[in-house]
Amino acid sequence: MSRAERHRQIRDLIAKGDVESQQQLADLLTARGHAATQATVSRDIAALGLVKMFRGDLHVYASPDGPASARGDDTMLRRVLRDVPIEVRRSGLILLLVSTPGSASIIAEAIDRSTMDEPEGTVAGDNTVLVLFADAPRLERWRDRLAELRAQATS
């Protein structure tokens, strides 16, 4: 199997299921008739930029190039708000979104790709995302819109 085909298969497997480990992903590829080692899968994960996030109570691989790959789509943000618990705090013109370990990068990516353009940008750590604003009215509009999206995602 070519590298491009293996990458296509990996993206398909990640999109369709909860893949928790490199070995599980290698086993799934093998089950599809494409033998792959854990080491190969490890390099593929890095090349594809896959991230780990919590989905329910599982720590699974996710693609930052999921359904919301272009800015201006809230699909990815809605999915993240549905799957990841987030606590919102404020410090001046910064909102701190605190979540579970390993989830900050996917939260920041979902925000960056969303239709909500009030933030100046995001900075992700391990479990905390800083959402930066130029002024208080933008921060408040964004916080209100985030609350609406959270309510929609959980109902």
Q: Is residue 143 part of a domain?
A: yes
Q: Is residue 104 part of a domain?
A: yes
Do 39 and 91 sit in the same domain of this protein? no
Q: Is residue 146 part of a domain?
A: yes
| pLDDT for res 30 | 92
**For the chain (length 155 residues), average pLDDT per consecutive 10?**
84 86 94 89 87 76 59 79 94 96 92 87 95 94 93 83
Decide: pTM greater than 0.85: no
Extract the tokens encoding 36.
């792959």
Q: Which amino acid is at 99?
A: S
| Residue numbers of the domain that contains 133 | 75-154
- Between CA 89 and CA 147 the distance in angstroms is 13
Domain of 147: which CATH number? Answer: 3.30.1360.40
Q: Which amino acid is at 94?
A: I
- Count of domains forming the chain: 2
Do 146 and 101 sit in the same domain of this protein? yes
| pLDDT for res 56 | 65
Do 132 and 84 sit in the same domain of this protein? yes
| pLDDT for res 80 | 92
Do 138 and 89 sit in the same domain of this protein? yes
